[in-house]
Structure 1
Amino acid sequence: MEFALAHPALKAFMCGSLSGTCSTLLFQPLDLVKTRLQTLQTGVQPGTARVGMMTVFQNIVRTEKLLGLWKGASPSFVRTIPGVGIYFSTYFTLKQHLVQGKSPGAMEAVLLGAGARTVAGVLMLPVTVIKTRFECGRYSYGSVTGALRSVCQAEGPGALFSGLLATLLRDVPFSGIYVMFYSQTKAALPEEISLTVSAPVANFFCGVLAGVLASLITQPADVVKTRVQINPQVRTLQAIASIYVEHGVDGFFRGAVPRLLRRTMMAAMAWTVYEQMMAHTSIRRCFVLSQ
């Protein structure tokens, strides 16, 4: 415990990993449904009947059983647990250097969120590619390591970084916008709320609001990212053009509802857990130092 107290960046990593574990287990079905919505009906012309979220959900349960909703959970765990930990430890380190413990302003919050997400996104991109392929149902990988080996042998190591541009265009703005809305909304709350037992609830609802806004703004980039990672021979601009030709503008918002639900709840949960655990650590550090 003294080691964790002496290394707050490590504590931030541990807090992020814990919240990532819980949120992945709870919300993996939403991510699966989102990916299936974004990858079905290729070649369908605009104006034809669209398959909705509940239809996809029912089809998965009918054909793959209830546990099929957690398909892709293993790469999700491999990606999210260290990924969220890397994100929060990077965020904490950047915050210490940029604002030195003060509450960040709007632009500082954008830079903090964007910087942390860039580091985590690039480091975890190979697992993100494997996760997307697991979820789409078009590949029959047996394990995460087997999938990594198969992609390297069949397509070359570069395929593990397919969709890098689209991923960064999705994740970096999402995180920057999220942290800005979250920090500014939380700062606008009455100060006495942060001193009561209602603080975690208030933080959670600030996170929900920030997540909704950030998810809607970055949804088109998520659709493009999915298309490129499933078809690595397709470039980002080609994916944008094909989505528009096949589905029109609506195509860029496929899977918006399950993604909004998942990203909003995951981010709100992650930040609530992070804030509470870091605050608890600060209190314990002060207690230890006073002894």
Structure 2
Amino acid sequence: MRERAPVTPSGGITPMQQMLASGTGALLTSLFVTPLDVVKIRLQAQGSPFYQGKCFVYCNGLMDHLYVCQNGASCTSWYKTSTHFSGTLDAFVKITRNEGVRSLWSGLPPTLVMAVPATVIYFTCYDQLRDFLCFGMGYQGIQVPLVAGGLARLGAVTVISPLELVRTKMQSRQLTYSELRVCIRSSVAQEGWLSLWRGWGPTVLRDVPFSALYWFNYELVKAKLCAGYSLSEASFMMSFVAGAISGAVAAVMTLPFDVVKTQRQIQLGEMEMLAAPAKKPSSTWQIMSRILADSGYRGLFAGFLPRVVKVAPACAVMISTYEFGKTFFQKLNRERALRAL
């Protein structure tokens, strides 16, 4: 007898309502996690500024952004060298005191422009795919969240990749829109349309397994918590705990691909900065082999604690807010249906 999948239907809410719930969750997650990553970047930068003065990767738990600083120059509000921080709490205090509270949300605009649409696509597609597999095709097994999560993330990454490439080009070279259009046309003419999806491979290798593992563990932990407390639906706190646990597990298991993707992003960023299109960037497996040769298996798990500390709360805030939003719309729809009778 097959194990029944720990999933529940969307409760009759529309795709637009799912998009509103996921968009709200992405906005709140960005607001919550951005200060943590701003502090982390500033602490990292004072020890090794911009990875040898060239570029660094900003990630708020929803999405990665590559920032390139030409000739070692600082990126406006992203980096200031005037203050030394002795630790995380010290950084929070000094940034707030010397630069104002708003500095803790530096970099929020690119997150809202890129991460929110990606998250809306991702979460809405997951719910739609999960319901289709369960109630449209009749699949009832632990493979449902694995498949739905992986496919949803694959679709979101594929849609967003060209936009992220455009954003990186504009940031690295300070191009006008007309210059950007010429740059993209030239790239497409020389390398074909697939050049717009450069970096897609390593992103998929990290994000698709992460998504599949995340949703599998989330649905499993949520079902266990509901069964333990004899509840038919998970509460806000249950969703929060399940999101944190599943996010932490998925982050650890996919960490090697995250390390490789960061290395590749930095390499591509340096090429953008130097305007050197001739050199072909290293492949995912070449980068992984180089890390193994230089640092061994420990090198593939570099940044273990910062990634878990960042991803776990981001996943918890995102999924609990999303579930709360869906519950809100479910109740709203039921009340509307009753009034219509």
Smaller-chain TM-score range? 0.7 to 0.9
Instruction: Spell out the pairing of 1:217-228 with structure 2 (5 A cutoff).
Output: 217-228=253-264
Residues 1-42 of structure 1 deviation map (CA, whole Å, 9 limit, x = unaligned): xxxx98611111111111111111221244464796897379
Q: 1:118 corresponds to which residue?
A: 154
Deviation at 1:230, TM superposition (A): 2.4
Sort the Cα spacing of 1:105 and 1:234 in 2 relative to 1 into closer, same or farther, 3 A.
same
**Which residue of structure 1 aligns with residue 134 of structure 2?**
99
Report the equivalent of 1:80: 115
In the TM superposition, what is the alpha-carbon distance from 1:152 to its structure 2 partner? 3.8
Q: How does 1:205-216 map to 2 (within 5 A)?
A: 205-216=241-252
Opposite residue 227 of structure 1, the aligned amino acid is Q
**Which structure has the highest helix share of the two?**
1
The answer to which of 247-256 and 181-190 deviates more is 247-256
What does residue 21 of structure 2 align with?
15
One-letter amino acid of the counterpart of residue 51, structure 2: L
TM-score in terms of structure 2 length: 0.65
Equivalent residue for 1:239? Answer: 287
* Alpha-carbon distance change, 168 to 140 in structure 1, aligned in 2, over 3 angstroms: closer
Structure 1 residues 104, 264: closer, same or farther in 2, change over 3 A? farther
Aligned match of 1:264: 312
Is the counterpart of residue 27 in structure 1 residue 33 in structure 2?
A: yes
The sequence identity of aligned pairs, in percent, is 26
Select between 85-94 and 32-41 the one with higher mean Cα deviation.
Answer: 32-41
Aligned-pair RMSD on alpha carbons? 4.1
Bigger mean CA offset, 281-290 vs 215-224: 281-290
Q: TM-score scaled to structure 1, two decimals?
A: 0.75
* 1:251 equivalent in structure 2: 299
8 Å Cα contact 2:133-2:139 kept in structure 1: no
Give unpaired runs (5+ residues) of structure 2: 1-10, 54-85, 269-280
CA 131–71 in structure 1, closer or farther in 2 if over 3 Å, else same: farther
Q: Tell me how far 1:68 sits from its aligned partner.
A: 6.3
Q: Aligned in 2, Cα 1:266/1:238: closer, same or farther, shift over 3 Å?
A: same
Contact between 1:215 and 1:259, CA under 8 Å: does it hold in 2?
yes
Indicate whether 1:40 and 2:75 are aligned: no
Deviations 1:228-285 (A, max 9, x none): 1222322212221232233332222222222222222122211111112112212221
Match of 2:327 among 264, 268, 279: 279
Please say if residues 162 and 228 of structure 1, whose CA atoms lie closer than 8 Å, have aligned partners that are also in contact. no
User: For residues 32-83 of structure 1, what are the alpha-carbon distances to aligned partners after superposition, in whole Å with 9 as ceiling and x for unaligned?
Assistant: 64796897379xxxxxxxxxx958x95x96xx96766655433222221111
Q: Match of 2:254, SS?
A: helix
Conserved? CA contact 2:25–2:317, under 8 Å: yes
After superposition, the Cα gap between the structure-2 partners of 1:130 and 1:256, relative to the gap in structure 1 and judged at 3 Å, is farther
Q: Is contact 2:169–2:175 with CA below 8 Å preserved after alignment? A: no
SS in structure 2 of the partner of residue 189 of structure 1: helix
Which residue of the other structure, out of 137, 140, 145, is the alignment partner of 1:109?
Answer: 145
SS at match of 1:40: helix
1:133, CA displacement in angstroms?
A: 9.0
In structure 1, how many angstroms separate the alpha carbons of the residues matched to 2:180 and 2:203? 18
Given the superposition, is the C-alpha separation of residues 69 and 213 from structure 1 closer, same or farther in structure 2, using an over 3 Å criterion? same
What amino acid maps onto 2:32 in structure 1? L
Partners of 2:291 and 2:257 in 1: how far apart?
A: 11
Structure with greater Cα Rg: 2
Paired AA for residue 208 in structure 1: A
CA distance, structure 2, for counterparts of residue 147 and residue 30 of structure 1: 35
Q: Is residue 13–residue 333 contact of structure 2 (8 Å, CA) maintained in 1?
A: no
